[in-house]
Amino acid sequence: MRRIAFAIALVFVTHLLRAEVIKDFGRDRLNNSPRHADWVDIKSGDRTIKAFVVYPERKDKAPAVLVVSEIFGLTDWVRSLCDELAENGVIAIAPDLHGGQQFEDLDAARKATSALRKEQVKADLDATADYVLTKIPSCNGTLAVCGFCWGGGVTFQYATANPKLKAAYSFYGVAVDNAEDAAKVVCPVYGFYAENDERVNATIPKAEELLKAAGKKYEPVIYKGAGHGFMRAGEPNNPDMREADRKARDEAWPRWKKLLAELR
């Protein structure tokens, strides 16, 4: 019985550790990056939030991109993606919208994210945008936003709310679904979607119709064979990397790099 109990406990612990590895596999990139990164405190109403900032290596001022995480919060993977953005010439800043919470499993992340108030998320993004535009001298005043999964949906909504945005990059996040929001979109929205993700993709046709009627730019691209979350699931350093997602990620990055280079 002791052996059986020990085996069960070992499987359980291994599962928890494995889940943590899957979420936090970006640490090697962070430790080996030549780029400067900081944790900063940002005042958001009567609260103070943390944000992670990575600076590009360039001789002139740079655009800034707000990074909105998945439901797992500000994981090492999200921070490693900030470094990858900075490698491509922009200041990347990711606010900790989850207040420093860490999650043992997907269900806990879902519960915590669903408890976040939309008004608070917007206020924290506004505070982060103001910080990067006014407190970081190396920013040239150009602001964009990107987000993944839950953050992709937040990104689409934030494109209706901050007139300072020059571009929004929504990765497999639900799109706007009403004419009022479509009319409020302030910048081009570029969508990155997975073929095997009908829950999200079902929102694309209506958004295309609404945004076209409102005279807004919306360019969705669906990557064949990919599943939801392919930017993380296709990461080469991900111990559970899926080949179809890797291919989609490899196709998405050149498009995104080209769009980032167009920021001025």
Q: What is the CA radius of gyration of the chain?
A: 19
Please tell me the pTM assigned to this model.
0.91
pLDDT band at 34; cut points 50, 70, 90: very high
Domain 2-261 fold is Rossmann fold (3.40.50)
pLDDT band at 23; cut points 50, 70, 90: low
CA neighbor of 81 nearest in space, from 141, 9, 152: 152
Q: What is the mean pLDDT of residues 225-254?
A: 94
Question: Which residues lie below 8 Å from residue 181, measured CB to CB, with a gap of 6+?
Answer: 157, 160, 210
Q: What is the pLDDT of residue 105?
A: 87
The pLDDT tens digits of the residues spanning 130-166 come to 999 999 999 999 999 999 999 999 999 999 999 999 9
In the predicted model, is pLDDT for residue 19 greater than 60?
no
Domain boundaries, the chain: 2-261
Q: What is the pLDDT of residue 238?
A: 87
